[in-house]
Structures are given as C-alpha cells and as structure tokens.
Structure 1
Amino acid sequence: MSRAKSQSIPKKSLAHNMVRLNGWTRSDAINEIASFDNIDEAEAARRYDLATQQMINRMAGQRLRHDRAKSSMKDACDLVLAIAYYDGTFICSKDLPRISYKAGWGSMVGPKSTGRVMKDIIFPMEKSGLITEEGDTDDKFFGYRLTDMGRAVFLGE
C-alpha cells in the first residue's frame, strides 16, 4: 500500500502569502484562497495546511543549518586554541586548511578563505583576549600565542 505523495505548494502562491501574513484567521485565509483561486474550500484548506507545514519544515531546516554552522565555528575556535596550546606560537597560514575545513568552509587555501578565517575566527578570538599577536625582535608580526585566559578556556580551568 503506497502513500500518496503530498504535493509542494510554490513559494509565491497565495496560500504561502496567507500563512506568512499575520492577522488572518485560518478560516478567513481559506475563504480568501478559495475565492481568489476559484476552488472549493476543502482544496483551499488543503493548500493552506500544506503551505503551513512547508513553512514549519523550512524554518526547522534553517534552524538546523544555523546550529550546524554555529557548532562548526565553535569547533574551529577550539582547534585554534589547541594549535596555540601545542605549538606555542603559531602562524595561521600554515594551519589554514585545517581551520577552514573544521569551520565547514572546505579546505581551500587562498585569499578568500584566509580572509574569512582571519575575520571570523582569529580577530574575534584576539579581541576577546584568548590569543595575542606575537612579534619578533624587530617587532614584525611573527604569529599568535595563547594568553592565560585562552589557556583557561582551552583547559577548562
């Protein structure tokens, strides 16, 4: 016995617009859909319910993707702390593929991924005091080093 596959309602349909609009009751929205599309109320109710379910599923999918991306960013920050802890002073470019891949951006190495790792991971961690810039004798940039606060966060002290 096969179940009938539920059809998908286009995003630009009146049913989707009625679901998105606040201030309409279900019965008013069904009446509006039925009169606008010249269909009976049972079909309008089916379309309205299907559009409602699709919107709920879409929001759940967006939330899942957001949570997954947030988790990947946290894992990438933890990786940066681990690299800084075990390497002492590290240069981001040599660990860029690992950091980029851990953040869910793939392991591509180039100006785009370098900028994104620096902008979204390294600079915020530096601003929050977890890592600090390290210079050589001429005060030129050498790399990043773990601070005491970063060590406490990484080791859970």
Structure 2
Amino acid sequence: MIALIQRVTRASVTVAGETIAAIDSGVLALVAAEPEDTPARAERLAERVLAYRIFADQAGRMNLGATTAGKAVLAVPQFTLAADTRRGNRPGFSTACAPDRAAGLFDDFVAALNARHTPIECGRFGADMQVELVNDGPVTFWLTA
C-alpha cells in the first residue's frame, strides 16, 4: 500500500457540498492499494503513518509521530497514487488494486488507525471528494508498506 502523508495545520473532505471529515493540526494521509496488497500491509502502513516522525519536539526537530504528538489523522482513499506514469502523457491504472478489493483494504487501514489512535477522520471510498488542506512546512512524505 501507498500513503502520501502531509503535515497539515488543517484539512477537510467535502462530498456533494457537505464536509464529511475535518481535522486541525495533524496528518493528511492519501492512501492507495495495489494488487499485491494484503490486510497485513494495510495494518503496517497504518503503524507507519502514526509513528512517522514529522512533528517537532521541544528542540524543534522532527522527532515525534502523530501518536506521540497527540495529532489527528485524516485518511483519504486516492487510487491515483497507484497510477503507472512511466510512459506517455496519460496515467494508466492497471497497477491499482480493483475497487472492490481496494475498498476493503482502505477499511482495514482505517480500522488499524482507529485501533491505535484517536482522533481519526476519513474520506469516503469511491466518492467525488474535494480535499482542502494547509500543508505545514511544507512537509510531505511518500510511505509504502
């Protein structure tokens, strides 16, 4: 699985004009599943997202993960992260997990987050979402599991 994580001062997800999820300071995690992914990989990715040290400690160094820093996480499914962009000017999606299986893996990822940390908010799988964020830093990392 893939997560593009961003340290944010705020982030939200809107579907059909309604805000369905929002956080203040925390982590926005855009998440995609690939065909070889498993529930164990979803759990491992959740652990990495929560523990990845992107928040400042008292010395100002990026030394704290979301759990240690007490920060919120907003998880958003985004299959386009799994696109094949090696050739041409149009992405291919044969490298992304099939939607029905990917939905289950995203649910596994969110369940693993919820089992380890609060608050957790999430976008809606398969929905046309508008994601709004203020990237803090900017700090952005690509994680895999």
| TM-score band w.r.t. shorter chain | under 0.3
- More strand by percentage: 2
Q: Structure 1-normalised TM-score? A: 0.24
Pair member with larger Rg: 1
- More helix by percentage: 1
Q: Structure 2-normalised TM-score? A: 0.25
